Structure 1
Amino acid sequence: MQKQLAEFIGTFTLVLFGCGAAVLAGGDIGLAGISFSFGFALIGMAYGIGPVSGCHINPAVSLGAVAAGRMSLTTAAGYIVAQILGAVAGAFVLMTIASGKADYSLAQNGLGQNGWGPGYLGEYTMTAAFLFEVVASFLFMVVILGATGKGAPAHLAGLAIGIALVVIHLVGINVTGVSVNPARSIGPAVFVGGTALAQLWLFIVAPVIGTVAAGLLFRSGQLDAQS
């Protein structure tokens, strides 16, 4: 239960501060500020809960770890439930805080939900969104598995993973708002509804494809990983 609680807290933090940066401060800090908010939140949690659960705070990462042979499917299932609950709780707290401002509208301002197409940020196509999420998730998982493998400097893993998430956001915010994490997408979509829920499938399927592919490459030894 300690591991599940850690994953709940970690995912809660990522959604509250990452999506919160976009909703509450996006106009002041811009895309770079939002990108660093996601990355720094992950770095903080990596050192805060990493010793307890490994700080996956991402269902796709947990499934990638299963594919790499570093976690059982049963353990991953418990992680995933905790991560989704944490993301929903984080989105709820963010919505409650944002609603404290007179001109805030959930329908107009949202909760930092992911998406694509007309009316969403850069208005990229579904194909572009899917490709970005698969490739970014794959590369993100490569960093995670490499940074946490034997021979890697363990004390730098959280920093490397967090920096990778910053770079992914710097490149991809205008494409999809950046998910690479189904829980991060589920949390806001539950409350925003509409298009966010209709498009949610992509932010579940694409990240899982990317992370599982990376996990299988590590498991097969094609990336010479030592787990």
Structure 2
Amino acid sequence: MKKYLAELIGTMVLVLMGCGSAVFAGTGQPFAAVGTLGVAFAFGLAVLAMVYTIGKISGCHINPAITLGLLLSNKISGKDAGMYMVFQVVGAILGSAILYILAKDSGSTTTLTGANGYSNVLPAFIAETVFTFIFVLVVLGVTSKGAENKFAGVAIGLALVLVHIVCIPITGTSVNPARSIGPALFQGGEALSQLWLFIVAPFLGGAMAAFTWKALDNDTEE
């Protein structure tokens, strides 16, 4: 149960900090709006902080697409994978609830999801699939046997920053089904109608990363 609770807390922090930076970026404040780079780094730094906080407990997936990738790579049991995903979604909902309370009277014009939405399904689907593939591939690589695991958190956090810098203008960036489900439940409307894409595409990208890493990895460990 401890590892499941760790995933809940980690995902809550990711949603609160990442989506929170997007929600409050455009509101009146004593500092300039954080912009795309600020939002990208908020997500990356949240992951980086959580990797070194809960990594020893749960491995710090805080993303169902990563959990799927590790399941298909035989690095986690089916039972644990299912429980991880459930607690990740619950954590995302809790983070979104906190953000909703903080943002509802803030005057922010940014949606709670922090996403731009999309007008064309195909480019959005391709973007979420490809960028999740890249992100999960990095996770699988830097946490594999023989890799520089001491700096895995840095590589994973910076990879997420990189993904957001490129993908924010396209979809707002999810690459994480839980991160999309939580805010969409509070945002409603268009966010819910688009939610299927931000679930299916990241899962597809995570699965592709798992099979690709299996083909690339020279580690014979089962």
TM bracket (short chain): over 0.9
| TM superposition score normalised by structure 1 | 0.91
Question: How far apart, in 1, do the equivalents of 2:114 and 2:35 lie?
Answer: 16
Name the SS of the counterpart of 2:124 in structure 1: helix
Q: What one-letter code is carried by the residue in structure 1 that aligns with 2:137?
A: V
**Contact 1:16–1:93 under 8 Å retained in 2:** yes
Q: Does 1:80 align with 2:85?
A: yes
Deviation at residue 77 of structure 1 after TM alignment: 0.4
Alignment of 1:160-179 (within 5 A): 160-179=155-174
Distance 1:2 1:225, change over 3 A: farther
Alignment of 1:136-155 (within 5 A): 136-155=131-150
Give the corresponding residue for 2:110: 109
Deviation at residue 155 of structure 1 after TM alignment: 1.0
**Contact 1:115–1:196 under 8 Å retained in 2:** no
Q: Does 1:194 align with 2:189?
A: yes
> Which of residues 65, 74, 93 in structure 1 aligns to 2:70?
65
Q: What one-letter code is carried by the residue in structure 2 that aligns with 1:223?
A: L
**Contact 2:117–2:171 under 8 Å retained in 1:** yes
Deviations 1:72-94 (A, max 9, x none): 11110000010000000000100
Aligned length: 215
Question: How far apart, in 2, do the equivalents of 1:99 and 1:204 lie?
Answer: 26
> Which of residues 129, 134, 151 in structure 1 aligns to 2:129?
134
Question: How far apart, in 2, do the equivalents of 1:172 and 1:207 lie?
Answer: 13
Deviation at residue 110 of structure 1 after TM alignment: 1.9
Name the SS of the counterpart of 2:216 in structure 1: coil
Question: How far apart, in 1, do the equivalents of 2:110 and 2:137 lie?
Answer: 34
Give the superposed CA RMSD: 1.4
Question: How far apart, in 2, do the equivalents of 1:26 and 1:172 lie?
Answer: 19
**Contact 1:26–1:33 under 8 Å retained in 2:** no
Question: How far apart, in 2, do the equivalents of 1:54 and 1:206 lie?
Answer: 23
Question: How far apart, in 2, do the equivalents of 1:93 and 1:77 lie?
Answer: 25
Deviations 1:91-146 (A, max 9, x none): 01001011242x34xxx53213445334xxxxxx2111000011101111110000
Unmatched segments (≥5 aa) in structure 1:
119-124
Q: What one-letter code is carried by the residue in structure 2 that aligns with 1:209?
A: L
Question: How far apart, in 1, do the equivalents of 2:21 and 2:110 lie?
Answer: 13
Question: How far apart, in 2, do the equivalents of 1:32 and 1:70 lie?
Answer: 33
Q: Does 1:31 align with 2:33?
A: no
Question: How far apart, in 2, do the equivalents of 1:26 and 1:148 lie?
Answer: 36
Deviations 1:51-89 (A, max 9, x none): 000000001110111111111111100000100000000
Question: How far apart, in 2, do the equivalents of 1:137 and 1:225 lie?
Answer: 22
Give the corresponding residue for 2:30: none
Q: What one-letter code is carried by the residue in structure 2 that aligns with 1:175?
A: I
Give the corresponding residue for 2:7: 7
**Contact 1:17–1:37 under 8 Å retained in 2:** yes
Give the corresponding residue for 1:122: none
